[in-house]
């Protein structure tokens, strides 16, 4: 069985969060980070096998699940982890919240670089912490970290850095030079690093390599909480299976204590899907990357040629393009583009009002239609 990446699965009426938003409307959903491709065949087979057994009791991770994660980290990142470092979670949003609860005193602060995946900005506040937002800056034609601004923002009460790398939504894979400076800053300011690397297996630019934060040095590993999941890469977010890797025993215990009674167990389908994706998903991932790279080219070329003032910059990872609609002077850019039949994510919860995020994880014909509609909306806004 091969996945046909040119076929659009019919997701209407399936309870898909992405598609239900525009139920019965002619609006193409290109918002939430969930792709319109079927999942890897080995995942589908593994779920069928679980289903055929008919046993759906409470489930704990088996050594096969743990070994799949350990082997994957070694194979892909030459990162040697121990099975006991893994804390399974039903999602990384709960993990971001658990970390905010686990570490530091009330009213201490979390520093993060904006724009960023919205739960980075909400989780600290939900757990009684403050957020210190430091905007990423554009340097030439790439987004980068402004460490001078970070140094100006950091205070004695800053306890953690929430780092997103590869970065959602700007699509950067931070390079060794940027990371070296950033990690130096974290050591200097005694910050824990909550490193969300969920997009690490979606690298578009073949010249880039993902650097696992905790694999940087023993010093950095000792202050890092790594968040990962097969959900984005293998398109299984609805299976609710993620994991957090913490090598420091004390930090791990604090994290586990903070989640007690709050976090549900992962279900049997989640473990089975995760294991199959990590162990047998590579061929599918390579085919996916080929499709996403072609889609990215189309998106980038279209914006550069037809809509240059939306300021799309080259991307290195993810299937999420970040666009500046401010030059269009619209009071509600999302609503404007919905009128032209395309549903995008609003930049406001990412900390950047007036910006938009476009999900291009879909078959190319669907993407072309989306881009045509976007262009129609753009031209209308500019009265051309």
Ligand X SMILES: Cc1ncc(COP(=O)(O)O)c(C=O)c1O
Binding mask 182-211 for ligand X (x = CB under 6 A): --------------x-x-------------
**Binding to ligand X in span 96-155, by CB under 6 A:** 117
Give the number of other CB atoms < 10 A from CB of residue 14: 10
Burial readout 138-161 (b: 16 or more C-beta within 10 A, e: otherwise): eeeebbbbbeeebeeebeeebbbb
Choosing from 27, 28, 33, 274, the residue that interacts with ligand X (CB under 6 A) is 33
How many angstroms separate the CA atoms of 279 and 72, rounded?
Answer: 7
Among 92, 150, 268, 358, binds ligand X (CB under 6 A): 92
Tokens 């002619």: give the residue: 26
Q: Is 104 left (phi over 0), alpha (psi -120 to 50) or beta?
A: left
- Closer to ligand X at the Cβ: 112 or 302? 112
If DSSP codes are grouped into helix, strand and coil, which group holds residue 319? Answer: coil
Closer residue to ligand X (CB): 93 or 381: 93
Stretch that binds ligand X, among 16-24, 89-97, 244-252, 331-339 (CB under 6 A): 89-97
- What the block records as the tokens of 377 is 């909306």
Using alpha carbons, select from 275, 266, 231, 267 the residue that is nearest to residue 87.
266
Q: Which residue's Cβ has the minimum distance to ligand X?
A: 91
Q: Which stretch, 5-13, 66-74, 88-96, 264-272, contacts ligand X (CB under 6 A)?
A: 88-96
Question: DSSP label at 214?
Answer: G
Dihedral sign (CA 43, 76, 321, 184): positive
CB 182 within 8 Å of CB 147: yes
For the bound state, the minimum distance from the C-beta of residue 102 to ligand X, rounded and expressed in Å, comes to 17
Cα separation, 91 vs 227, whole angstroms: 9
User: Segment 228-257, which members bind ligand X (CB under 6 A)?
Assistant: 229, 231, 237, 242
Q: Which is nearer to ligand X, 163 or 268 (CB)?
A: 163
Cβ of residue 28: shortest distance to ligand X, in angstroms? Answer: 19
| Contact pick of 16, 20, 22, 93 for ligand X (by CB under 6 A) | 93
173 near ligand X, judged by CB under 6 A? no
Q: Which residues bind ligand X (CB under 6 A)?
A: 33, 91-93, 117, 164, 168, 196, 198, 229, 231, 237, 242
């Amino acid at each position: 069985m091969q996945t046909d990446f040119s076929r659009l699965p019919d997701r209407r009426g399936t309870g898909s969060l992405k598609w239900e938003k525009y139920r019965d409307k002619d609006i193409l959903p290109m918002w939430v980070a969930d792709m319109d491709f079927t999942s890897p065949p080995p995942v589908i087979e593994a779920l069928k096998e679980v289903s055929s057994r008919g046993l759906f009791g409470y489930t704990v991770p088996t050594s096969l699940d743990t070994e799949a994660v350990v082997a994957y980290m070694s194979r892909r990142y030459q990162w040697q982890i121990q099975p006991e470092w893994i804390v399974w979670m039903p999602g990384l949003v709960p993990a971001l919240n658990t970390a905010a609860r686990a570490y530091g005193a009330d009213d201490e602060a979390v520093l993060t670089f904006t724009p960023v995946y919205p739960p980075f900005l909400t989780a600290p506040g939900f757990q009684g912490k403050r957020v210190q937002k430091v905007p990423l800056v554009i340097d030439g034609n790439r987004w980068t970290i402004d460490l001078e601004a970070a140094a100006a923002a950091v205070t004695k009460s800053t306890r953690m850095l929430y780092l997103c790398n590869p970065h959602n939504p700007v699509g950067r894979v931070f390079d060794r030079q940027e990371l070296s400076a950033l990690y130096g800053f974290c050591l200097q300011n005694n910050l824990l690093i909550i490193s969300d690397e969920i997009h690490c297996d979606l690298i578009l630019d073949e010249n880039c390599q993902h650097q696992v934060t905790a694999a940087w040095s023993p010093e950095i590993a000792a202050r890092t909480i790594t968040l990962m999941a097969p959900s984005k890469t293998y398109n299984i977010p609805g299976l609710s299976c993620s994991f957090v890797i913490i090598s420091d025993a004390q930090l791990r215990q604090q994290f586990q204590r903070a989640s007690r009674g709050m976090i549900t167990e992962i279900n049997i389908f989640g473990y089975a899907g995760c294991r199959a994706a990590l162990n047998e998903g590579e061929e599918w991932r390579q085919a996916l990357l080929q499709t996403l790279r072609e889609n990215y080219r189309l998106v980038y070329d279209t914006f550069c040629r037809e809509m240059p003032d939306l300021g799309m910059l080259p991307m290195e990872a993810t299937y999420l393009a970040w666009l500046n609609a401010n030059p269009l002077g619209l009071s509600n850019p999302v609503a404007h583009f919905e009128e032209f039949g395309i549903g995008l994510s609003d930049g406001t919860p990412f900390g950047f009002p007036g910006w938009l995020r476009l999900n291009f994880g879909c078959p190319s014909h669907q993407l072309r239609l989306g881009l045509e509609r976007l262009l129609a909306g753009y031209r209308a806004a500019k009265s051309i």
